[in-house]
């Protein structure tokens, strides 16, 4: 049985919740979740890796059990908080697993502290324009015109049925998708203040796209050991985004799985095996 500890820590005035497993003597692995989830998305992966890695999986500010920030929170500020979080919990050198929102946050950490990053695993975590599907059109419209009409249109993405669709789209056997993940996500999204925080982040996502050349320059110059594990049927981040990592890191390993955006819901065992082989 794997022991997983559930902790909170103060990070410059923010209460950050995190899951921790594995011996502190093991190589360190930081898990960064995406929208609209929290560290519970790693509930199946952590037990499969804790015999080899010291794992820490925080809830990002505004997500899960971590503090809800005020309006106007940005990806730069989230990355700064998680950067300080790694220092508070003693993660001085670590591999990082990034997914969705976790990718631009993790890539910011890598650009700022390349000496701390031992490897990167990206699971449907994009850094290339060709990786963005047409599903981003409503959000792009808000980037170009931050009108109340365009903001209100994005509320569709926050509806419970949309969350469920994110989990089930592209999955061939829906019986493999536990309701636990999307039910928790919908609970967190229903909290007072959560809607505006998420809409603000939709608007600020353009800052991540603006940083794509910076991320790509880091990949090209530093060439970190890199593994992409990708749900092939993701409606938001296309397979071309996974293949693009090889353009800047020729030795990058790219593996596709016949599933959707939340690939860990159906392929946690296969992804864990890929990580263990890659980081061996």
Phi, psi values for residue 268, rounded to 5°: -60, -40
> What DSSP line would sit under 214-248, residue for residue?
HHHHHHHHH---EEEEEETT-SSB-HHHHHHHHHH
Angle between helices 179-189 and 194-210 (to 10 degrees): 100
- Measured on CA atoms in the order 73, 95, 64, 13, is the torsion positive or negative? negative
Is 40 a known active-site residue?
no
Cα 180 off chain centre by: 18
Cα–Cα distances in Å, from 176 out to 25, 229, 261, 263? 34, 19, 14, 11
> What DSSP line would sit under 87-146, residue for residue?
HHTT-SSEEEEEETTHHHHHHHHHHH-GGGEEEEEEES---SGGGB-GGGHHHHHHHH--
Length, in residues, of the chain: 280
Angle between helices 102-112 and 212-222 (to 10 degrees): 50
Instruction: Kindly name the residue from 40, 54, 261, 267 that is annotated as catalytic.
Output: 261
Q: Which residues are catalytic?
A: 261
């Amino acid at each position: 049985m794997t022991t997983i500890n559930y902790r909170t820590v103060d990070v410059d005035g923010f209460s950050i919740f995190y899951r921790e497993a594995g011996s502190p003597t093991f190589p360190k692995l930081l898990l960064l979740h995406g929208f609209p989830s929290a560290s519970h998305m790693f509930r199946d992966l952590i037990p499969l890796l804790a015999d080899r890695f010291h794992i820490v999986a925080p809830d990002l500010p505004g997500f899960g059990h971590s503090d809800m920030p005020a309006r106007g929170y940005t990806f730069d500020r989230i990355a700064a908080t998680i950067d300080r979080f790694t220092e508070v919990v003693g993660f001085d050198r670590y591999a990082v697993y990034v997914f969705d929102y976790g990718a631009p946050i993790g890539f910011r950490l890598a650009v700022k502290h390349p000496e701390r990053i031992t490897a990167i695993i990206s699971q449907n975590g994009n850094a290339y324009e060709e990786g963005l599907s047409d599903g981003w059109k409503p959000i792009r419209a808000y980037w170009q015109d931050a009108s109340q009409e365009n903001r209100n249109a994005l509320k569709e993405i926050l509806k419970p049925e949309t969350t469920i669709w994110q989990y089930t789209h592209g999955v061939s056997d829906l019986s493999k998708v536990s309701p636990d993940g999307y039910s928790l996500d919908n609970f967190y999204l229903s909290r007072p203040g959560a809607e505006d925080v998420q809409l603000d982040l939709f608007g600020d996502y353009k800052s991540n796209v603006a940083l794509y050349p910076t991320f790509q320059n880091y990949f090209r110059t530093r060439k970190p050991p890199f593994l992409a594990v990708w749900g092939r049927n993701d409606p938001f981040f296309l397979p071309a985004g996974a293949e693009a990592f090889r353009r800047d890191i020729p030795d990058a390993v790219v593996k596709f799985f016949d599933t959707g955006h939340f690939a860990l819901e159906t392929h946690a065992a296969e992804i864990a095996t890929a990580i263990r082989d890659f980081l061996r």
